[in-house]
Amino acid sequence: MYMSNKEAHKQLIQLLDIKIKLSSGYSLPKIGKMPILSLSPNNWQKAASIAAKLNYRFVSMWAQDLNNIFELNIVLELHNSYLLLRALIDNNAPTIASFTPYFLAANLLERHTHDMFGINFSNHPDNRRWTRHLAWGADQFPLRKNFPVESLMTTPTPPDSNYPFTQIIGSGVCEVPVGPVHAGIIEPGHFRFQITGEDILKLEIRLGYTHKGIEKIAEGREVNSLIKLAGRVSGDSTAAHAWAACAALENAINLEIPNRALYIRAIICERERIANHLGDFASVCNDVAYTFAYYQLMRLKELWLRINAQIFGHRFMMDCIIPGGVTTDLNSENCQALHKQISDFKLELDELIVIFEAHFGLHNRIKTTGILTAEQAASLGVLGYVGRASGHKFDLRHDVAYPPYDKFKIHVPVFNTGDVLARLRVRFQEILVALDLIDQLLNTLPSGAIHTPWVAPNKVVEGIGLIEGWRGEIITFVRLGDDNLVERYFPRDPSWFSWQALEQLIQNNIVPEFPVCNKSINGSYSGVDL
Amino acid sequence: MLKTLLKIFKVGVVTEAYLPNKDAKLECIGDACKKIIDAKFAGSLAIRHVDAGSCNGCELEIHALNNPFYDIERFNIHFVASPRHADLLLVTGPVSRHMESALITTYAAMPNPKLVLAVGTCGACGGEFGCSYASSGKVANAIPVDGIIHGCPPTPLDLLQGILELLH
C-alpha cells in the first residue's frame, strides 16, 4: 500500500497536537527522505502510545551526546514510510519515558542506550544492565563525550558472575547456564535455561561478550576508515553493513552513485545473501544430524566463496564496497563465470530440494519445532527471514526499494507456520530469488564508472542508510562533524529483534531442540554487542 | 533414499586429492601436518576454538576447514567441545574485556602440554578494534600465544598453514 510520507504520518502528528507551520501542507525537516519530528521529552510517552495504537513498527533507537545536551532518536515505520522522532534531554538529569511498554522491540535498544549514555527510561519494565558487564562501572557511560576511549581497567576484567537472571522457583525446576564459551565453533553468548526434565520453561539470553566499543572507536574516523569498521561489525554481513554505512554517508551529502556501481553492490549483497543462506540451511540440518544436507550445502558454499575470491578478490567480498561505489569492476569473462555458476547451482538445488523435502527424519525434527507466531513476530518487530517465516512480508528491496532494486520486481517468499521448517524454506526460496536477481543484474549491467569521489561536506551532516542485508533490514545512522570526521555511527542490525524472538519461540520445546532453534534464527552476536 | 544415494554417487568425492595440477598446496600442507601430528601427538591433534570477541568472519573460515574440500579430519586434526580434551587453543578476535575471564579460564582448563594460536588480524594485533575501554587488543595481551595466523579473515589454507608452522 503506497502512502506518501505526508499522508502516513499526518494522523500521528495531528493526534500529538503539534503545531507545524502550514503552507500548502506541512513540511518537516528531513534526513534524506526521512522526516524528522522533534518532540519535547514530555510528549515522548504520548507519542509511543499513539504510534502503538496506529500500528507503527519500531525500527531503531540511538542517542547522541551533543555537548551539554543528549539527543534521543527513534525511527518508526508505517505503510513503508519512515519517521524519525527526536527529543533533546537535559544531560544533568537525563530521564525520558520508555517506549518498551508500547513496543517490545525497543527493550534491548533502550537498555543499551542506558548503559552507554546513562539515559534513564522511566517505566521500562527491566532495569538490568544489558551491554555493560564489568568493563566499566554503573556510574560510567562510554558514549558520553567526557568518557575516554582508553581503558580504565588494568587488571583482567572479572566475569559477570552475579548478573541477576530471572529464576523460576519450584519443585523439580533446574537452572542450566550455557556459555559464553560454547561447544562448537560459534560466537560467545550466555543462555540461561529454567527447565523441568527436558521441558524449557524459560530461556533468558545475555549477550555483550563481544562488545568492542565500535560506536566509541568510530568517533574521529575519516569516512574510509569508518567503512572498514562497518564491514567488521558482523563479518558474515560485511557487504551489507558496509553498504548501509556508505548509504548513510552518501545520503548525508546527497552523493549520486554511478549506476554500474549500484548494480555491482547489489550483486555483491545478493552473493552474500546466498552464501549465508546455504551455510545456515546446512547448519540447521547438521543440528538434527542430517549430515547429507550439511555436506552437500557446505560443498556448494565453498564453490560459491571460491568464485567470490576469484572475481572480487575476497571470499567474503570484504572491503569491496566503499564510499562512492565499489572497488572491483566486472569484465565479460567475470560475468560469464557468474552466470555459469548460477545455472550450475540452480540444477544442484533443484535436485537437492526434492531429497530434502522428502526426508522424513528431517521433517520429524523441524516441523512444528520452535514456532514463532505471527502475533509474536509483529509484537517483537522481527525482520528478514525470521519475520517472513511467520507471515511478515516486509523486505526493503520490495517495499522501500532503493537503487538498483527499484528497477526490478523482487519476489518475497512468505510462510505462515513460523517453525524451523518454515525458516529453512524461506531461506531456500530467497536463494532462488537471489540467483535469478543476480542473472538479471548481470544482463542489464549499465556501463560507466564504478566509483565517484567522496566530496567532503566541511559542515555537520547526518545521514541514514537502509539496506536489506541477508538477515533483514539494516538501518545505519552517521553524523559527520565540520572537520569531516565521524561524530556518531550507529548500525542497527536486525538481530536486535531476532534474539528476543528466540526467547519466545523456544518455549514449549525441549532442551535438545535449542541448538536447531538457535541456528534457525542465527542472530549475530557481535552485530548486537557492538 | 534412492535419490539421496544417487546424488551421493553423482557428486562423488570432492576432497582434493594430490594431483599435480589440482590443489597440491592443500595436500602438501595437510600431509606435513599429519606427519608431525603422528609423531608428536600420537596421531591426533585436538583443537578447542574460542571466540574472544571476533566479528564472526574468522569462524566462517574455521567452519570451512570441516567442509568436504578441506576435510581436515583426514589429517588427524579435529575440533573438541571441551578445553580439557584439547592440545591446541584457537582464539579468534581481539579480546573483548567481557570475554577476558572466560578466555583465561578456558586456557587454564587445558592440560599441559598446550599450545595457543591467535587467529586473524584481530587476534594478532587487535585489528580495527585495538585497545580501548572495551577491548584488550591482541590475544597475547590476555594469555600466552605460541603462534599467529594473519588474515582478515585467514582462508582455510592460511589456517592450515598456520597450524603446520606452529607444529614445526
Burial of A133: CB neighbours in 10 Å, binned 0-12, 13-18, 19+: buried
Please state, in angstroms and as integers, the Cα–Cα distance from residue A376 to each residue in A194, A501, A504, following that order: 21, 8, 8
Asked if A355 lies within 8 A of B3 by C-beta distance, the reply is yes
What are the chain B neighbours of A133 within 8 Å (beta carbons)? 97-98
* Among the partner residues B98, B104, B128, nearest to A229 by beta-carbon distance: B128
CB neighbourhood size of A129 (10 A): 18
A112, A116, A152, A181: which to substitute to probe chain B, counting the most B Cβ within 10 Å?
A181
Instruction: Find the mean pLDDT for residues B9-16.
Output: 83
| Pairwise CA distance, residues B130 & B109, whole Å | 27
- Using the structure block, give the residue that is written with the C-alpha cell 563479518: A235
- pLDDT computed for residue A75 by the predictor: 98
Domain range summary for chain A, segments of one domain joined by +: 5-122
CA-to-CA separations, A511 to A186, A195, A516, B9, in angstroms, rounded = 18, 8, 10, 36
Q: Which helix (H) or strand (E) holds A46?
A: helix A44-53
Q: What is the pLDDT of residue A301?
A: 98
For the stretch A164-222, pLDDT in tens is: 999 999 999 999 999 999 999 999 999 999 999 999 999 999 999 999 999 999 999 99
| Chain A residues with beta carbon closer than 8 angstroms to that of B67 | 295, 298-299, 301-302
- Using CB atoms within 10 A of its CB, is residue B42 exposed (0-12), middle (13-18) or buried (19+)? exposed
pLDDT tier for residue B20 given thresholds of 50, 70 and 90:
very low
* A22 pLDDT more than 50: no
Cα angle A91, A206, A211; round to 5: 60
Instruction: Give the 3-state DSSP-derived string for A457-523, with helices as H, strands as E and coil as C.
Output: CCCCEEEEEEEEECCEEEEEEEEECCCCCEEEEEEECCHHHHHHHHHHHCCCCEHHHHHHHHHHHCC
- Residue A23 confidence (pLDDT) above 60: no
Region of A381 on the Ramachandran plot (φ > 0 left; ψ -120 to 50 alpha; else beta)? left
Q: Before A457, cis peptide (omega within 30)?
A: no
Which amino acid appears at position A483 of this protein? D
Q: Which site among A210, A226, A525 would you substitute to test the B interface, given the most B Cβ atoms closer than 10 Å to its Cβ?
A: A210
Model confidence band, residue A327 (pLDDT cutoffs 50, 70, 90): very high
Least Cα distance to A253 among A391, A492, A449, A453 occurs for: A453
Between vectors from CA B153 to CA B74 and to CA B20, what angle results, nearest 5°? 45
pLDDT given for residue B16 in this prediction: 67
CB nearest to A185's CB, from B79, B94, B97? B79
Whether A459 and A437 have beta carbons less than 8 Å apart is answered as: no
Q: Which pLDDT band holds residue B167 (cuts at 50, 70, 90)? A: confident
Taking CB atoms and an 8 Å limit, are B132 and A235 in contact across chains?
no
On whether any CB of chain A is under 8 Å from the CB of B93, the answer is yes
The answer to whether A78 and A56 have CB atoms below 8 angstroms apart is: yes
Distance CA A372, CA A382 (A): 10
Backbone dihedral angles phi then psi of residue A482, each to the nearest 5 degrees: -75, -5
Strand intervals (E) in A95-230: 95-97, 120-122, 174-178, 190-196, 199-206
Distances (CA, A) of A309 to A136, A151, A291, A315, A382: 41, 37, 27, 4, 33
A89-93, A148-152, A433-437, B46-50: segment of lowest average pLDDT: A148-152
- Please tell me if residue B121 touches chain A, with a CB cutoff of 8 Å: no
pLDDT classification of A19: cutoffs 50, 70, 90 = low
What does pLDDT average to over chain A?
95
Task: Flag whether pLDDT at A4 surpasses 80.
Answer: no
- Cβ atoms A525, A207 nearer than 8 A: yes
Closest Cβ opposite residue B98 in set A135, A151, A354: A135
- Whole-angstrom Cα distance, residue B142 to residue B98? 12
Strand partners of residue B131 = B136
Instruction: Measure CB to CB from residue B94 to each of A184, A212, A235 and give the nearest one.
Output: A212
Which residues of A are less than 8 Å from B64 in CB distance? 298, 301-302, 305
Hey, which bits of A68-198 come out as E strands?
69-78, 81-90, 95-97, 120-122, 174-178, 190-196
> Looking at residue B150, what DSSP letter applies?
-
pLDDT computed for residue A26 by the predictor: 59
Q: Which CATH number fits domain A5-122: 3.90.25.10, 3.30.460.80, 1.10.10.10, 3.40.50.1370?
A: 3.30.460.80
Return the C-alpha cell found at B112: 599441559
Sheet holding A69-78, edge to edge: A30-31, A34-39, A81-90, A69-78, A57-65
* HEC profile of A57-80: EEEEEEEEECCCEEEEEEEEEECC
Grid coordinates representing A207 are 549477550
pLDDT, tens only, A115-139: 999 999 999 999 999 999 999 999 9
- Kindly give the pairing relationship between strand A486-492 and strand A472-480: antiparallel
The total of other beta-carbon atoms located within 10 Å of residue A159's CB is 17
Test B101 with A228 for CB contact under 8 angstroms: no
Mean pLDDT of A369-386: 96
| Structure letter (DSSP) for residue A445 | P
Cα–Cα nearest to A224, from A244, A241, A249: A249
Query: Residues A264-287: what's their mean pLDDT?
Result: 98
Q: Which residue has the higher pLDDT, B14 or A206?
A: A206
* A509: number of Cβ within 10 Å: 20
- Give contacts of A181 with chain B, Cβ < 8 Å: 50, 102, 106
pLDDT in tens, A340-353: 999 999 999 999 99
Closest residue by Cα to residue B167 from B59, B23, B44: B44
Overall average pLDDT of the B55-60 stretch: 98
Cell reading at B55: 566479528
**Residue A13, all three cell numbers:** 502528528
Tens digit of pLDDT for each residue in A460-487? Answer: 999 999 999 999 999 999 999 999 999 9
Cβ–Cβ of A135/B133 closer than 8 Å?
yes
**CA dist list (Å): B21 to A503, B18, B26, B160:** 51, 9, 12, 20
Calpha distance A74→A99 (Å, rounded): 9
Where residue B39 falls among pLDDT bands split at 50, 70, 90? confident
